[in-house]
Amino acid sequence: MTAPHDRLDRRADPAGLADRPAGCRRLSPARWRGRGHGLALPLVAWLLLTACGPAPETPEPAATAGEWREFEGTWTATGSRRSLALGGDRRASIGEFNGSLQLAGPGRPAVGFRAEAIVLNDNATGMVGRAVWTDDRGDQAYSELRGEGSATGNRIFGTFVGGTGRYAGATGGYEFSWRFVLEAEDGTLQGQSVGLKGRVRAGVPGIAPGAGAAR
């Protein structure tokens, strides 16, 4: 048997909308009351499904020309290295690395990149190199690398020198330390960045490459 107050509640809310989750829109009886052909209730059901559906994901904001985008992240890579003895304790090496770069922070230019680098290292004068970051759209950001020394935990600085697509005219820079987690006798290497952070802006003509590089 239905209690009197239940009958009153059903008359006040015949569609049972009061039991809907808080995220759903409530419709007054005047909005859903049918006027023939029994079309009102299917229409109400369709409106409820539309109102209660999941909210669309918000896309990452696109970078605008001249806007600085700050980021941090982790660069992991594997590669190979060939070394050359220069007498005494001095050695030079050339390495080629391929891996991935995952970025974080609200200003990041993209979530992740395929990251490639070629470096020449001399334990007496430091390291120089070149890097290419490619995002999921195929747009690329180019940078020059330089390092101070070759000891574990040394600091490496990258300077953006342009790119393609949304990174055309990219300037700015980034910095990080590098540590090797695997170094085999055949020259195979595996490593990871530590404390990578920087900023970049694109599409600003007339600014010399390296302006605003992280220090």
Do 91 and 189 have their domain in common? yes
Do 139 and 81 have their domain in common? yes
Do 105 and 162 have their domain in common? yes
Do 23 and 82 have their domain in common? no
CA dist 51 and 69 (Å) reads: 35
Residue 100: CA atoms inside 13 Å, Cβ hemisphere, count?
Answer: 6
- Residue 37's domain spans which residues? 4-52
Q: Looking at the domain assignment, is residue 64 inside a domain?
A: no
Do 85 and 32 have their domain in common? no
Do 79 and 163 have their domain in common? yes
Query: Which comes out higher in pLDDT, residue 88 or 8?
Result: 88
Read off the DSSP letter of residue 165.
G
Do 84 and 120 have their domain in common? yes
Condensed to tens digits (0 to 9), the pLDDT of residues 25-81 reads 444 444 444 444 454 444 444 444 444 444 444 444 444 557 899 999 999 999 999
- pTM greater than the 0.75 cutoff: no
Answer yes or no: is pLDDT of 192 > 90.
Answer: yes
User: For the chain, how many structural domains are there in total?
Assistant: 2
Q: Looking at the domain assignment, is residue 159 inside a domain?
A: yes
Q: Looking at the domain assignment, is residue 58 inside a domain?
A: no
> Dihedrals φ, ψ of 191, to 5°?
-150, 180
Q: What is the mean pLDDT of the chain?
A: 75
Q: Looking at the domain assignment, is residue 13 inside a domain?
A: yes
CA dist 201 and 199 (Å) reads: 7
Do 116 and 40 have their domain in common? no
Any idea which residue has 């085999």 for tokens?
Answer: 184
> Dihedrals φ, ψ of 134, to 5°?
-120, 125
Q: Transcribe 174-185 into DSSP letters.
A: EEEEEEEEEE-T
- Look at residue 180 in the predicted model and tell me its pLDDT: 86
Answer yes or no: is pLDDT of 129 > 50.
Answer: yes
- The domain that holds 184 is classified in CATH as 2.40.350
- Look at residue 143 in the predicted model and tell me its pLDDT: 98
Q: Looking at the domain assignment, is residue 212 inside a domain?
A: no
